[in-house]
A and B are shown apart, each in its own frame.
Chain A
């Protein structure tokens, strides 16, 4: 395809990317802001990947923490034991996460475990792994295992500031978004959307539900595993708490609040919710411990109650009005 045409069609995304890429330049000196930006991008990658299995296929996966932890522990252990660079290690970690996903997804989808039961068993996977790594002293154990700086900081991905991690994760975010758009345009995308709408009807129409869902799960687990490698390197240690049930639920919440199946929804929800949470933490954190979370919970509940289809439809309808005002007489298709 013509590059100019692609640029013209998606100029909004490119402006956004440009802003995101330039943002660290003025903020470089502010450590806290950079860490915050990096965390937002990290959650955004996970939530955007979640959109494939959760938003499109309608499977409420709560195992992001499990795949993240698998990626983190593989990457970290490879660096620790055999001095394998995380740049390679994170891909091996992602493959381990995929293996895990197939191991758990194949029987789960085979036994037609759906909805809340799928959600709970994926959450259980996360907790099972946490307990196993807590007891597995050779790799995990209850104390933190610190990662060494082997060869050079670049080789072992041990940067002193958050900025390099921000850029690594930004690249992953772009990849995750592109993967979303690509899938959306393929047969798999249509199959997943059909499954998300009505699983039984989709199966009657001849869609191999298990195969389609498994493909979605594999892509999602791969991206989560990749993020896990960066996650371990950023924190500089390994701990079983990386298999985090809270991260898992949060990622799913961002996907739901953003708007199920809308590609930019999770990104939007992550920026808004993590932004609100951290702003509240900065404002209220000095006072009562946990007060910012109370307010955050209120925001979450209000959004879920009064905008049950997500915040993305709201934004896209505003955008559409804006666009049709610019180009009168021309109806645009929805941004989905």
Chain B
């Protein structure tokens, strides 16, 4: 009993780091630009398909595919920003919702056309087998995915805190007007933010493809999941996002192991609703 519990907690923690990575992307988009991106989960879906393509065409390992998909998603985010998001900045959030739902429908149907409806998975990975730690077996692919996620979150933290572009993003998030007066070009800063948010989903997509499959409807889960992690964490705290990701991952794993495999989403939504009711600013929020 305790063994199964610990085993599922470990699985959940490892998944949680990937969830945190996805949520970091959403969080900087929402936190900095105040843009409601309903298509974020579908960015993950798109990334997973691109990883699938890179993996099958070049016979690369899933973990290596972000080398190709990250630039692609960065470019995709950049173009999406200038084509769509930039025009909605001064509009009501409902317009942003309508536009990003349109983007969502577009990405899903595009995936349906290009890759058809059946789920796709990469066939093999050089990372195989389990690692035994204190008698608990851990899938190596998941361990590596978790470690890579943490590295990327740390890299984002470094970028935001130590570089000029990162400082510009933080300044725009705090006070856009003052930042503009200080010489921050907010179109460019926002475009960079949106592109980074999209590029982070490419990293997560590659990692997820090393042990999961994807289908055109798969974006929904990651979308709500990342909003849930963000609600739990509150805005403006990267360690908070990691903690929130881990909580969501563990809750999901425990629900699957002890209750019902179908209750995976239920656990996430329950946490989401409870957090909104009881801690609307999140557990670790700055604002």
Q: Which residues of A contact B (CB under 8 A)?
A: 60, 107-108, 111-113, 115-117, 119-121, 123-125, 127-128, 131-132, 134-135, 245, 249, 252-253, 256-257, 260, 288-294, 296-298, 300-301, 304-305, 308
Contacts and interface: CB of A to CB of B under 8 A. Distances in A.
B269 A128 contact: yes
Interface in B271-287: 272-273, 276-277, 280
Contact of B98 (A120, A131, A256, A296): A256
A121 B99 contact: no
Query: Which are the 7 A-B pairs with shortest beta-carbon distances?
Result: A293-B109, A290-B112, A297-B106, A301-B102, A290-B109, A304-B98, A300-B102
Given A135-B262, A305-B87, A121 B101 contact: no
Contacts of B116: 289
Contacts of A296: 105
A127 B270 CA distance: 10
Contacts of B110: 290, 294
Contacts of B269: 124, 127-128, 131
A229 to B, nearest CB: 26
B229 to A, nearest CB: 12
Contact of B109 (A117, A124, A294): A294
A45 to B, nearest CB: 20
Contacts of A289: 112-113, 116-117
B102 A297 contact: yes
Given A289-B117, A294-B110, A117 B99 contact: no
B36 interface: yes
Interface stretch (B61-69, B89-97, B191-199): B89-97
A258 B284 CA distance: 39
Given A120-B224, A304-B102, A135 B276 contact: no
B142 interface: no
A300 B272 contact: no
28 contacts: A108-B277, A113-B277, A121-B273, A124-B269, A128-B266, A131-B265, A249-B101, A252-B97, A253-B101, A256-B97, A256-B98, A289-B112, A289-B117, A290-B108, A292-B109, A293-B108, A293-B112, A296-B105, A297-B103, A301-B84, A301-B99, A301-B102, A301-B103, A304-B88, A305-B87, A305-B99, A308-B91, A308-B92
Contacts of A119: 97
Interface of B: 36, 38, 84, 87-88, 91-95, 97-99, 101-103, 105-106, 108-110, 112-113, 116-117, 216, 220, 224, 227, 231, 260, 262-263, 265-266, 269-270, 272-273, 276-277, 280
Contacts of A294: 106, 109-110, 113
A297 B273 CA distance: 30
Contacts of A304: 88, 95, 98-99, 102
Contacts of A112: 280
Pick the most buried of B84, B117, B231, B272: most chain A CB atoms within 10 A of its CB: B272
A131 B262 contact: yes
Contacts of A123: 224
Contact of A297 (B94, B105, B224, B280): B105
B276 A111 contact: yes
B93 A116 contact: yes
A60 B227 CA distance: 16
A182 to B, nearest CB: 25
Nearest to B220: A245
Contacts of A297: 102-103, 105-106, 109
Contact of B266 (A132, A290, A293): A132
Given A117-B231, A121-B276, A256-B98, A288 B113 contact: yes
Contacts of A249: 38, 101
B81 to A, nearest CB: 13
Given A116-B93, A121-B273, 8 more contacts: A60-B94, A134-B262, A256-B97, A290-B110, A293-B112, A297-B103, A298-B106, A301-B99
A117 B97 contact: no
B31 to A, nearest CB: 12
Contacts of A116: 36, 93, 97
Contacts of A113: 276-277, 280
A124 B224 contact: yes
Contacts of B220: 245
A125 B112 CA distance: 27
A134 B113 CA distance: 29
B33 to A, nearest CB: 13
A245 B112 CA distance: 19
A277 to B, nearest CB: 10
Contacts of A290: 108-110, 112-113, 216
